[in-house]
Amino acid sequence: MRAAVDVAIARPGTSPRSITAAGARPRETRVTCAWRQFRVLFSRDARLARRNRDVLLAIFGNAILMGVLVGVVFLDVRNSGSENVQYQLSFVFMVIVVGALNANAAVPVYVADAEIFSGETSENMYSVFPYAASKALTWGLINGLATCVFATITFVLAGFATSPTDSIARAGANYGRFLLAVLLAFFATDALMGAIASRATSHQAANAVIGGALGVLSLFNGFTANRRNLPTWLFWAQYASPFYWGFVAASVPLMRAYDPGSGGGTSDEYDYEALSRAFDFQRWME
């Protein structure tokens, strides 16, 4: 009996009537163990994602294309000299933003599956937490892996992996911290998009709300808008933005490993201390 119920749940959109026809009574359609629910749901989501090869090709193709484009635009910027430190930080900021926005690929899934989720949970086929965990793990792994591909390509093309001033161990450590910062910004953005999309009634509503939320968060990013140019009563808003935290987390190791001021900057405006104050790095570098 339990096996028949599990098989029915594993089919998206299965109705209680079809479960009953499989030999189960309606009052027994609930799989009580949360771990068992998660395993069945994750198996279903992984199988559906694996079958949808066009989507996987689009996600990873986009990651490779954007990685190459961003890498070419900032080609070997790491070794371009201390006078281009702001250009180097522009590269970091661009990677954080583009990497975080990879989470947008999962939005249609959350919206499209909302009706199935509503019908199946109303019949007590599973609870909310196993469903949310399954969706987050499935698409978090797929889009997270694509983000790793994107970040790795940009890291290599921008010259951070082959800098003559860094040892292999130091370059590896910088790569690890850089990748971790990009992934943290991605997962924070992914969680926000997933929460909004799962409550939206349509793709249009989801896109409108997500666009507004990301517009505000990306405005207070710590790079183009920061302590230097924001009003005193407003600059605190950057601390609520995943773009700010990703930018700082990826930039601080760069600033520690490579002091632009020691190489002779072009002006005081772009020296090490001035940039640290402008981008609010000082508190994280002490």
- Per-residue pLDDT reduced to its tens digit, 4-61: 545 555 555 555 555 455 555 444 455 568 888 888 899 999 998 899 899 999 999 9
Enclosing domain of residue 113: 52-285
User: Which whole number is the average pLDDT over 174-201?
Assistant: 89
User: Which whole number is the average pLDDT over 117-142?
Assistant: 86
More confident residue, 129 or 268: 129
Give percent of the chain with pLDDT exceeding 70.
Answer: 74
Task: Tell me, yes or no, whether 228 lies in a domain.
Answer: yes
Give percent of the chain with pLDDT exceeding 90.
Answer: 24
Q: For residue range 150-162, what is the model confidence (pLDDT) as tens digits?
A: 999 999 998 877 6
Task: Tell me, yes or no, whether 114 lies in a domain.
Answer: yes
Task: Tell me, yes or no, whether 10 lies in a domain.
Answer: no
Confidence of residue 275 (pLDDT cuts 50, 70, 90): low
Confidence of residue 285 (pLDDT cuts 50, 70, 90): very low
Lowest mean pLDDT among 12-16, 81-85, 109-113, 249-253: 12-16
* Contacts (Cβ under 8 Å, ≥6 apart) of 194: 103, 106, 107, 110, 135, 136
Task: Tell me, yes or no, whether 71 lies in a domain.
Answer: yes
CA 71 to chain centre: 19
pLDDT above 70 for 134: yes
Number of domains in the chain: 1
More confident residue, 124 or 43: 43
Whole-number pLDDT of residue 136: 87
Task: Tell me, yes or no, whether 77 lies in a domain.
Answer: yes
- CA 229/CA 242 separation, integer angstroms: 19
Task: Tell me, yes or no, whether 118 lies in a domain.
Answer: yes
Confidence of residue 63 (pLDDT cuts 50, 70, 90): very high
Whole-number pLDDT of residue 72: 95
Task: Tell me, yes or no, whether 265 lies in a domain.
Answer: yes
Cα–Cα distances in angstroms (integers) from residue 208 to residues 46, 100, 214, in the given order: 28, 18, 10
* Contacts (Cβ under 8 Å, ≥6 apart) of 224: 93
Whole-number pLDDT of residue 167: 67
pLDDT above 70 for 148: yes
Nearest to 184, CA basis, from 63, 95, 58:
95
Confidence of residue 121 (pLDDT cuts 50, 70, 90): confident
